[in-house]
């Protein structure tokens, strides 16, 4: 069994590399980024990033509004954690 796994007596081992506290946020609900139901939401500020190109300068815009995002969205998209 892998670290963090829990034995399911009916089927097999469940693998979770991180403890529940490592990725638990403010609780369950709907992710405001992807719309999925999630139980690991955290409050973040959305960040828009426009990379530099030959005709534009780089621009980074951090929104003031708080949104509740799931772990996959926090793993893939630019954001700033609450208090970050």
Task: Confirm whether 60 is domain-assigned.
Answer: yes
Task: Confirm whether 59 is domain-assigned.
Answer: yes
Distance CA 48, CA 78 (A): 7
Task: Confirm whether 2 is domain-assigned.
Answer: no
Distance CA 40, CA 10 (A): 26
How many domains does the chain divide into? 1
Distance CA 79, CA 84 (A): 10
Residue with tokens 């999925």: 36
CA distances from 70 to 26, 40, 58, 61 (A): 10, 6, 27, 21
Task: Confirm whether 75 is domain-assigned.
Answer: yes
Q: Could you tell me the residue range of the domain that residue 64 belongs to?
A: 23-81
Task: Confirm whether 30 is domain-assigned.
Answer: yes
> Which pTM value belongs to this model?
0.64
- What are the tens digits of pLDDT across the range 10-46? 444 334 344 444 444 578 899 999 999 999 999 999 9
Task: Confirm whether 67 is domain-assigned.
Answer: yes
């Amino acid at each position: 069994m892998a670290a963090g796994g829990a034995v399911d007596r009916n089927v097999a081992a469940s693998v979770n590399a991180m403890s529940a506290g490592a990725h638990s946020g403010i609780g369950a609900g709907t992710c405001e980024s992807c719309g999925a139901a999630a139980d690991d939401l955290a409050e973040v500020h959305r960040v828009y990033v426009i990379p530099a190109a030959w005709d534009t300068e780089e621009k980074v815009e951090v929104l003031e509004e708080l949104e509740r995002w799931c772990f996959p969205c926090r793993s893939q998209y630019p954001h700033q954690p609450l208090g970050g």
